[in-house]
Amino acid sequence: MKRIAVLLVAACSSAPPPSFGTTPITTATSTACGVSFDVYSAPDPLVRGPSSIELVATSATPPGLSIAMVPFMPAMGHGAATIPTITDEGGGVFVATDVVMAMPGTWQLRTTISGACSDAIVIDVEVQ
Q: What is the CATH number of the domain that holds 118?
A: 2.60.40.3340
Whether residue 18 is contained in a domain is answered as: no
pTM: 0.85
Whether residue 47 is contained in a domain is answered as: yes
65-111 confidence digits (pLDDT tens): 999 999 999 999 999 999 999 999 999 999 999 999 999 999 999 99
Q: For residues 98 and 82, give the distance between their C-alpha atoms in angstroms, rounded to a whole number.
A: 7
**Tally of domains within the chain:** 1
Whether residue 13 is contained in a domain is answered as: no
* Residue-range definition of the domain harbouring residue 33: 26-127
Whether residue 8 is contained in a domain is answered as: no
